[in-house]
């Protein structure tokens, strides 16, 4: 199980937040002829570091919840066996993807990179389409009325002010 968790972290959030952004930065420097540099503005630098730390904390903590509470991983080959409604999942339905998005926008700010901003925005739009049209339908099939009640009480992207308490 631990091996599956590690692979799911390396292949899924790792490829989206580390490997692909590195490749995009590299390709953008090859085609532009300019090197990669950090933002020189201290406010932008501070904001990007804040976003990166926040995103990694959110994505990491929700991945652990999948492992501990859901008895699975974020990977489609080993999905959670139980519906996870703990921690950040009591405030919004997609905190893991929100954490990934925060990381992506933090990276774009850190490097002040248009290519990374486009990647972050593309990832956002893809997930805004994927979740309601694919993921949520699959979760409803897997978890039935529990998931249906959850979706009626917990918003998809914008967090609730108070955590939802299951009845």
Helix or strand (DSSP H, E) at 130: helix 114-130
- pLDDT of 1 > 60? The answer is no
Q: Please check whether residue 141 lies inside any domain of the structure.
A: yes
**Residue 73, pLDDT score:** 83
Q: Residue 123: which domain range? A: 7-62+91-153
Q: Please check whether residue 53 lies inside any domain of the structure.
A: yes
- pLDDT of 10 > 90? The answer is no
User: Based on the structure, what is the number of domains in the chain?
Assistant: 1
- pLDDT of 95 > 60? The answer is yes
Residue of 46, 47, 146, 131 lying closest to 95 (CA atoms): 131
Give me the DSSP letters along 86-109: SGGGGT-S-HHHHHHHHHHHHHHH
Q: Please check whether residue 117 lies inside any domain of the structure.
A: yes
**Residue 30, pLDDT score:** 78
Q: Please check whether residue 2 lies inside any domain of the structure.
A: no
pLDDT band at 82 (very low <50, low <70, confident <90, very high): very high
- The fraction of the chain above a pLDDT of 70, given in percent, is 92
Q: Please check whether residue 130 lies inside any domain of the structure.
A: yes
Q: Please check whether residue 164 lies inside any domain of the structure.
A: no
Please report where in the chains the tokens 């990166």 appear, as a residue. Answer: 52
Q: Please check whether residue 21 lies inside any domain of the structure.
A: yes
**Residue 75, pLDDT score:** 80
pTM passes above 0.85: yes
Per-residue tokens: 41:
């503005």
Q: Please check whether residue 78 lies inside any domain of the structure.
A: no
pLDDT band at 7 (very low <50, low <70, confident <90, very high): low
- pLDDT of 148 > 70? The answer is yes
């Amino acid at each position: 199980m631990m091996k599956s968790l590690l692979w799911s972290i390396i292949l899924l959030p790792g490829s989206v937040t580390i490997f692909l952004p590195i490749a995009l930065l590299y390709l953008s420097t090859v085609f532009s002829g300019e090197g990669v540099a950090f933002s020189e503005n201290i406010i932008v630098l501070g904001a990007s570091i804040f976003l990166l730390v926040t995103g990694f904390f959110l994505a990491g903590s929700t991945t652990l919840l999948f492992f501990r509470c859901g008895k699975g991983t974020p990977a489609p080959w080993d999905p959670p066996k139980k519906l996870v409604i703990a921690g950040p999942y009591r405030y919004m339905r997609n905190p893991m993807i929100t954490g990934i998005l925060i990381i992506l926008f933090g990276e774009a700010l850190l490097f002040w990179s248009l290519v990374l901003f486009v990647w972050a925005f593309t990832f956002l739009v893809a997930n805004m389409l994927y979740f309601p049209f694919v993921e949520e339908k699959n979760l409803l099939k897997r978890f039935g009325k529990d998931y249906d009640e959850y979706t009626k009480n917990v918003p998809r992207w914008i967090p609730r002010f108070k955590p939802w308490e299951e009845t």
